[in-house]
Amino acid sequence: MIAETIKETHFDVVIVGGRPAGASLAARLGQKGIKTLIVERATFPSGAAVSTPFIFGHTMALLDEIGANEDEYAETTPKMRRFVLEFKDYFRTFFPVGTAGGRDYMYTVNRVKFDSCLWNQLERFETVTAVPNFAVTGIIKNDQGRVSGITGRHPQQEEMTITADCVVGADGRYSTIAKEVGAEITEQRSDVDTDLFYAYWEGVADYDDQGDAVPHIHTSIDGFSYVFMPSADGQISVIAQGQSDLYQALDGSPQEVYIQLLQKQPHVWRRLKQAKQVTKLSGIRRIGNLFRQPAGPGWALTGDAYHQKDSLDAQGIYDALLMSKLLAEELTAWKQGSKDWETAMADYEARSYADLKPTFDGTMERVKREIYDIPPEFVAKNVLRWVLTSKRYQHGFSQMLIRQVDPTSLLAPPAMVKMLGAGIGTDIKRLFSSDENLNAMPAVETMPQ
Ligand SMILES: Cc1cc2nc3c(=O)[nH]c(=O)nc-3n(C[C@H](O)[C@H](O)[C@H](O)COP(=O)(O)OP(=O)(O)OC[C@H]3O[C@@H](n4cnc5c(N)ncnc54)[C@H](O)[C@@H]3O)c2cc1C
């Protein structure tokens, strides 16, 4: 149930943070009848979280498991079955969206609708008390040093103490719980940091004349990348992302820099010339790429609080839902007495890391390849094109985005040899074919309007 205030003083589990990680964990614990309190600083519908997310079928399959209603979280949001990746004006290539969870499409969900849907469905669970507008200020510990509850308050009200058998931090990348318990960063990549800013636009020109909504990714091979994400209510989120040092060296306010970046790219600006930016700029500097220690005596972390990474591969929400699924299973085993706390949390760490680590490595490699490495023109025009336009890569990449393929295998040497061979073969065929524009990107002036 959703409540305005907390009436009881003790719960089996207290969850801090009520968006994808926290709300899905609460739903799963509710399905098991575990007495759970979930508190969230915001109220719903809230202002959007800083995030403009693509979600794929594998994410929707996890949402099905907790009973989230697709018609509600994706209301007025177009289904998208292909996306396009452009490299400067050298080449472009279309990718199919891989099928998972019975869906052959993806969305750019609007976080206001999405987060409200996840939060509101907590009303269904009798053993879950969901309290918005409540900020956690600290943790309490028992005599043995085990976390045994939280302190927090509604605005302008007195601080309260709630005790619990365990406390879960689902409170995002700047987690209060992680700080309070002293969760250490166990693994970090800070050599491929990016800054990312976005706003929603109306009146954006279609990508081409096919009549469908198409996610459009434009890599300008100068340390920056741009993404058009067709979202709810006819709006398109437009991202400008770049190497942090380069981004921060640009002169002007974030809004001025954002517009300057978009205007500089003909293949981006052609779609925005007649469009209107309808939301304020949002964004993030130096997206974190890290894992924290996920659990300790009486506490656990899930979602971005535990593991965060660059949004380039659009896996953050899936990861948050997955971590919470695994944590719910381990907490249930602990509560039901089949595992002690230490074993349950060691299993949570091992199982989640095994799932998260290959994608983390794959995303770091892709950020390096597509935003950090600035290849010489010959390499970009040819080697990159041979690889990225190959059917093998396209299928593998689409499958990787729905977690059917280990990303590190995508560009492993045997696969590379085959893709390069196929690319060179196609170029040779092209020499003898009348279809001279095979794989070539149209010149700026002939781009679809
Ligand atoms: C620009 C950008 C683009 C992204 N694009 C994608 C994408 O395309 N696809 C994708 O899957 N993911 C994407 N992500 C990642 C995704 O947004 C996150 O991984 C996801 O939101 C993590 O969910 P979470 O529940 O762990 O944390 P959050 O969504 O950050 O929620 C944490 C909640 O905790 C609450 N909270 C914090 N502290 C307290 C406190 N002390 N007391 C009470 N409540 C508190 C906050 O109010 C917040 O509501 C993107 C992220 C960014 C920044």
Q: Which residue has the CA at smallest separation from atom 50 of ligand 1?
A: 51
Considering the domain boundaries, does residue 443 fall inside one? no
Give yes or no for a contact between 59 and 69, defined as CB atoms under 8 angstroms apart: no
Q: Please state the pTM of the whole predicted model.
A: 0.94
As given in the structure block, the two tokens for residue 200 are 């929603």
Residue 241: enclosing H or E segment and its boundaries?
A: strand 236-243
Residue 43 alpha carbon to ligand 1 centre in Å: 15
Same-domain pairing of 167 and 142: yes
Residue 200 alpha carbon to ligand 1 centre in Å: 18
Nearest atom of ligand 1 to the alpha carbon of 198: 1
Residue length, the chain? 449
Residue 174 alpha carbon to ligand 1 centre in Å: 10
Among 119, 304, 307, 403, name the best residue to mutate to test ligand 1's pocket (greatest count of ligand atoms within 8 A of Cβ).
304
C-alpha torsion sign, points 45, 215, 51, 61: positive
Same-domain pairing of 133 and 273: no
Same-domain pairing of 36 and 141: yes
The answer on pLDDT for 414 being more than 80 is no
Same-domain pairing of 70 and 130: yes
Same-domain pairing of 204 and 238: yes
What residues contact 101, with CB distance under 8 A and at least 6 apart?
A: 57, 58, 59, 60, 61, 62, 64
Q: Which residue has the CA at smallest separation from atom 21 of ligand 1?
A: 317
Q: If pLDDT is split at 50, 70 and 90, which confidence band does 100 have?
A: very high
Q: Which residue has the CA at smallest separation from atom 26 of ligand 1?
A: 303
Q: Which residues line ligand 1 (CB under 6 A)?
A: 16-22, 39-42, 49-55, 135-136, 170-172, 176, 196, 284, 303-304, 311, 314-318, 320
Phi/psi of residue 169, nearest 5 degrees: -90, 110
**CA–CA gap between residue 116 and residue 48 (Å, rounded):** 10
Q: Which residue has the CA at smallest separation from atom 8 of ligand 1?
A: 53
As given in the structure block, the two tokens for residue 285 are 């500097």
Give yes or no for a contact between 188 and 259, defined as CB atoms under 8 angstroms apart: no
**CA–CA gap between residue 253 and residue 208 (Å, rounded):** 32
Q: Of 299, 325, 359, which closes a domain?
A: 359
Residue 316 alpha carbon to ligand 1 centre in Å: 8
Residue 308 alpha carbon to ligand 1 centre in Å: 9
Considering the domain boundaries, does residue 42 fall inside one? yes
Low-confidence winner among 46-60, 326-340, 390-404 (lowest mean pLDDT): 46-60
Domain count, the chain: 3
State mean pLDDT over 81-107: 94
> Among residues 233, 177, 202, 156, which one has the least CA distance to residue 38?
177
Q: Which domain holds residue 387?
A: 377-431
Considering the domain boundaries, does residue 324 fall inside one? yes
Residue 170 alpha carbon to ligand 1 centre in Å: 9
Chain position carrying tokens 């003790």: 10
Q: Name the range with the highest mean pLDDT among 138-147, 371-380, 406-415, 416-425.
A: 138-147
Same-domain pairing of 214 and 258: yes
Considering the domain boundaries, does residue 355 fall inside one? yes
Q: Which residue has the CA at smallest separation from atom 53 of ligand 1?
A: 51
User: Angle, nearest 10°, between helix axes 391-401 and 413-431?
Assistant: 140
User: In angstroms, how far is the first alpha carbon of the chain from the final one?
Assistant: 50
Q: Of 359, 393, 412, which closes a domain?
A: 359
Q: Which residue has the CA at smallest separation from atom 17 of ligand 1?
A: 51
Same-domain pairing of 301 and 342: yes
Look up the CATH number of the domain holding residue 69. 3.50.50.60
C-alpha count within 13 angstroms, C-beta hemisphere, residue 76: 9
Considering the domain boundaries, does residue 144 fall inside one? yes
Q: If pLDDT is split at 50, 70 and 90, which confidence band does 435 have?
A: low
Considering the domain boundaries, does residue 101 fall inside one? no
Same-domain pairing of 144 and 63: yes
Beta bridge mates, 107 = 55
The H-assigned helical ranges of 336-375 are: 341-367
Same-domain pairing of 144 and 226: no
As given in the structure block, the two tokens for residue 448 are 């679809």
As given in the structure block, the two tokens for residue 118 are 């996840």
Q: Of 253, 269, 284, which closes a domain?
A: 284
As given in the structure block, the two tokens for residue 180 are 């309070």
What tens digit of pLDDT does each residue of 149-169 get?
Answer: 999 999 989 999 999 999 999
Same-domain pairing of 58 and 120: yes
Look up the CATH number of the domain holding residue 208. 3.30.9.100
Considering the domain boundaries, does residue 106 fall inside one? no
* Residue percentage of the chain with pLDDT more than 70: 96
Same-domain pairing of 278 and 421: no
* The predicted structure's pLDDT at residue 434: 63
Nearest atom of ligand 1 to the alpha carbon of 39: 43
Give yes or no for a contact between 114 and 73, defined as CB atoms under 8 angstroms apart: yes
State mean pLDDT over 303-322: 97
* The predicted structure's pLDDT at residue 410: 79
Same-domain pairing of 166 and 310: yes
